Amino acid sequence: MKLSLGPLQYFWPRERVLAFYESVRTWPVDIVYLGETVCSKRRELRFDDWLAVGESLAAAGKSVVLSTLALLEADSERLTLRRQVKQGRFPMEANDATALGLLAGRPFIAGPHVNTYNPGTLAELAELGAVRWVAPVELTRDTLAALHEARPAGLETEVMVFGRLPLTFSARCFTARAHNRPKDACELACRDDPAGLPLATRDGQEFLTINGIQLQSAEPVNLLGEMSALRDLGVEVLRISPEPEGTEAVVRAFRSCADGRLDADEAMARVSGLYPGFCDGYWHGGAGMDWRGRPE
């Protein structure tokens, strides 16, 4: 199985982003997704900067993919997307219907924000040119197995196995509202929250993470305990979403487990102390925030 590093979901300062991807050059990941998927106002890195990061990673032996926004709201964003499509150097991950239309006829990856819930959609994506699809994060194990079995020949399957789940996007900015600022004058408030803003219920239970116009799960999904099932299914790519701390250790734990150098319990022990908790409820058909840890 290949490991991929998903696109950065948070808004970090330019220096931190560049330092992060410089370190990724030595990590045991096969595929690295680059670019802004959440908010077009996050422009610490310009398009040419992302291309330069991609060239550096490619020189280190990584397969590089450029990811698109999940929610386009303005003509300026559509024009930026057209420029991304025209670059031709790296393949792209389409995260909305506009990107699907512009990428039709060339190889691309259908991202997790494309509503891929049935074999008919998989067939249509493959006809458009998709060479890999990333399963929506709310799919259960059984649904994923059925879709993976029914996929057209030559279409790879990728599953997000670690990181805060991207749940939804809104035309409104949750972070700006939390700081009592209008969206159009947000002053890039999310830059001050490198792991997003935690949102708890009135009872104090961690519920969601606020990340600009995006809502994420409160805890990272962790499917280390499902490595045997993923291997048996024949899933080709496992995606790890970057978090502010501990991502390298997570990558190395998954790599060791995928290669058979660690069993699931040993791999879990290496990451369990890095985060307050995990979730895997969607995988088991329950509430997304549930945590089972290992199959019964």
- What tokens does 101 get? 């239309």
Contact 221/292 with Cβ under 8 angstroms? no
The secondary structure element, H or E, covering residue 38 is none
Q: Mean pLDDT, 10 residues at a time, over the chain (296 residues)? A: 98 97 98 97 94 98 98 93 94 97 97 97 98 98 97 97 97 93 92 94 92 97 96 97 97 97 94 94 96 68
Helix (H) or strand (E) holding 283: none
Exposed, middle or buried, 57 (CB in 10 Å: 0-12/13-18/19+)?
Answer: buried
Please name the helix (run of DSSP H) or strand (run of DSSP E) that holds residue 194, with its range, or none: none
| Burial (Cβ within 10 Å: 0-12, 13-18, ≥19) of residue 25 | middle
Q: How far is 174 from 166, CA to CA, in rounded Å?
A: 14
Q: Name the residue with tokens 């209008």.
A: 182
Q: What is the pTM of this model?
A: 0.96
For residues 148 and 125, give the distance between their C-alpha atoms in angstroms, rounded to a whole number: 14
* Residue 103 near residue 92 (C-beta atoms within 8 A): yes
> Can you tell me the distance from the alpha carbon of 186 to that of 135, in angstroms, rounded to the nearest whole number?
32
Contact 283, 141 (CB under 8 A): yes
Using DSSP's 3-state secondary structure scheme, residue 243 falls into: coil
How many H helices and E strands in the chain? 10, 11
State the Cα–Cα distance between residues 196 and 164, nearest whole angstrom.
Answer: 10
Structural domains in the chain plus CATH codes = 2-165+218-274 (3.20.20.70)
Answer for the pair 93, 33: CB distance below 8 angstroms, yes or no: yes
Structure-token pair, residue 80: 């930026």
Burial (Cβ within 10 Å: 0-12, 13-18, ≥19) of residue 18: middle
What CA–CA distance (Å, rounded) separates 10 from 19?
15
